[in-house]
Amino acid sequence: MQHLLSIEELNASKLEQLIDSAAALKASRGSGAHPKPLANQTWAMIFTKSSTRTRVSFEVGVRELGGSIMFLSSNDIQLGRGEPIKDTARVLGRMVHGCIIRTFAQQDVDDFATYSNIPTINALTDEEHPCQILADLLTVKEKLGTWVGKKVVFIGDGDNNMSCSWIWAAKYLGFELVVAAPEACLPPTEWMNLVDAPNVSLTSDPVAAMQDADIINTDVWLSMGQEGQSEKEALFGAYQVNAELLKNAKEDHIVLHCLPAYRDKEITEDILELHADTIFQQAENRLHAQKAVLAAIAK
Ligand code: CP
Ligand code: NVA
């Protein structure tokens, strides 16, 4: 692997290898056996959106793998004043050993990888959030043993970065995925045809989606950059993850949330607290999953 730009570019065996490597790194954390593949390397993070989990987990992860890391808010570098991403990439590519980018357009992350010629990681774009999905899959494996034969429901904004990355993961790993969202927030048919995943279905019926679900996954209704879109937000009332809706799921279901969570919007306070053990394990797993990615792509 040269980069991690999307889940789309992966396949079943790469996904499985990364999850297994994340589990091994988690198990050896803090021991003398922990590998240091980033020794003598300096990595950069360029973020044009807010972050708690991604920023902290990468800062800790790079250091634990023996490297050092600098955080560059886009407002602090010339990128924020209009310097093209391809120029930023060509400068950083001559100075640092790898770069982690959180931004809006997927094209910017792809261009950075092309022009910098250094390992590049997508730390969230409007299209995909690959690092999060790796942590989610590790959590599923830890909690349920496997995703094979499980029914996953993604409920909320069915056309955001999280749902799109989950759709690619389902295509490659073969589990059943139902995306439940208001009609206007389902992925376009043209895109679904392109993905071509017969095990992924779309519905606007949240109750039907939830039948016999093993894994219920939700995310904010308004992603970063969509703040203030109250008309969009108003569409989601019936898609809240709450006790009533979860009665339709399997009794031993788990609930995932990538966080940050907006209580009593996409998830109720009681359900978030009931599943806090899983949800914060999922947050911790960002660290282990991203260390697996760093170890896989470091030169
Ligand atoms: N889930 C996630 O990516 O969290 P942050 O936005 O805090 O990094
Ligand atoms: N869909 C959310 C994910 C946040 C981690 C967003 O893009 O804001």
Tens of pLDDT, residues 87-134: 999 999 999 999 999 999 999 999 999 999 999 999 999 999 999 999
pTM beyond 0.85: yes
Q: Which ligand number lies closest to the CA of residue 221? A: 2
Tens of pLDDT, residues 165-201: 999 999 999 999 999 999 999 999 999 999 999 999 9
Predicted local distance difference test score (pLDDT) of residue 103: 98
- Ligand 2 lined by 162 (C-beta under 6 Å): yes
What gap in Å lies between CA 159 and CA 254, rounded to an integer? Answer: 22
Reply yes or no on whether the pLDDT at 64 is more than 90.
yes
Q: Give the position of tokens 């022009």.
A: 115
Catalytic site positions: 102, 129, 132, 219, 258, 286
What gap in Å lies between CA 280 and CA 259, rounded to an integer? Answer: 9
What gap in Å lies between CA 34 and CA 88, rounded to an integer? Answer: 33
212: left (phi over 0), alpha (psi -120 to 50) or beta: left
Q: Is the peptide bond before 182 cis (omega within 30 degrees of 0)?
A: no
What gap in Å lies between CA 279 and CA 44, rounded to an integer? Answer: 28
CA–centroid distance, 161 to ligand 2, in Å, is 7
Mean pLDDT value of segment 266-280:
98
CA–centroid distance, 16 to ligand 1, in Å, is 23
What gap in Å lies between CA 170 and CA 174, rounded to an integer? Answer: 5
Predicted local distance difference test score (pLDDT) of residue 33: 87
Tens of pLDDT, residues 17-38: 999 999 999 999 999 889 999 9
Q: Tell which one of 50, 219, 279 to mutate to probe ligand 2, the residue whose CB is within 8 A of the most ligand atoms.
A: 219
Predicted local distance difference test score (pLDDT) of residue 243: 98
Beta bridge mates, 215: 152, 254
Mean pLDDT value of segment 265-274:
98
Nearest CA to ligand 2 atom 8: 223
> Does domain 132-283 correspond to CATH entry 2.40.50.100?
no
- CATH 3.40.50.1370 segments of the chain: 36-128, 132-283
- Ligand 2 lined by 153 (C-beta under 6 Å): no
Reply yes or no on whether the pLDDT at 293 is more than 90.
yes
Q: What integer best gives the mean pLDDT of the chain?
A: 98
Q: Tell which one of 286, 287, 293 to mutate to probe ligand 1, the residue whose CB is within 8 A of the most ligand atoms.
A: 286
DSSP state of 184: G
Architecture category of domain 36-128 in CATH = 3-Layer(aba) Sandwich (3.40)
- Ligand 1 lined by 165 (C-beta under 6 Å): no
